[in-house]
Amino acid sequence: MGRAASLLFAAHGAHVIIVDRNGEGADDTVAEIRRLGGSAEAHRVDLVDQNALDGFIDTFVRDDEVLDILFNHAGLPGPPAFQYDAESWYTCMAINVWVPMILTKRLLPQLRRSKSASIICTASIAGLRAVSFLPTYSASKAALIQFVKSAAQMLAAEGIRINAICPGATDTPALRRDLSDGTLNTTIEAIAASVPMKRMGTPQDMAHMALFLASDASSFMTGVAIPVDGGATA
């Protein structure tokens, strides 16, 4: 989803700054953007590592920088069921809640220099309704949605918008890796059958929503969590 959004944003004229712990994937995306005539750069950072995150921000962010769009997309699924312990719980909460919160805080000076700043966070329909087998993930995404709503109230008067995308079941390479045990096709078919539109979402579906929220087309929208889920939450 992050790759799809990066390509789409670049195609619409954005200079895209990719921050990811997967340096090879980030570099490949930058290369593709440049091949298509766009502008991008990549930074390899493990966002869960507070020292690495602080170091990136301190090194990269300049006082006169103008940032128009902050897309907080990085996330982790977290441990299933009751298999969580302190370490796995904190790691999930760190990447899904703390990282968007601290990036938003630290980059506010740059966002305030923009004439139409937009912050976008990737939440999940798991933050809107219970997902019984992912309690840690569901709790983290619900917390992220409430942060978005609260931050929107604080920033609205400054003209800075912040909204959340709540993807439903989405067919991504990560999902296919997790299901690479011989049940892939059967599981994909079962997931698709459970969605009212009878298909899974695509990374491009989520990227187009991100582009909408980043653009002036959504200029009167802030503090909302939008399901992109084929009707699942309906």
CB 18 within 8 A of CB 42: yes
Short-list 182, 174, 165, CA closest to 233: 165
Spatial distance between the Cα atoms of 130 and 121, rounded to a whole number of angstroms: 19
Distances (CA, A) of 180 to 174, 187, 221: 10, 10, 39
- Which tokens go with 162? 């912040």
CB 74 within 8 A of CB 2: yes
Number of C-beta neighbours around residue 87 at 10 A: 9
186: amino acid identity, one letter: T
Three-state secondary structure call for residue 70: strand
Q: What are phi and psi of 19, to 5 degrees?
A: -120, 120
The catalytic residue among 135, 137, 200, 225 is: 137
User: Does the annotation count 137 as an active-site position?
Assistant: yes
Q: Catalytic positions, please?
A: 137
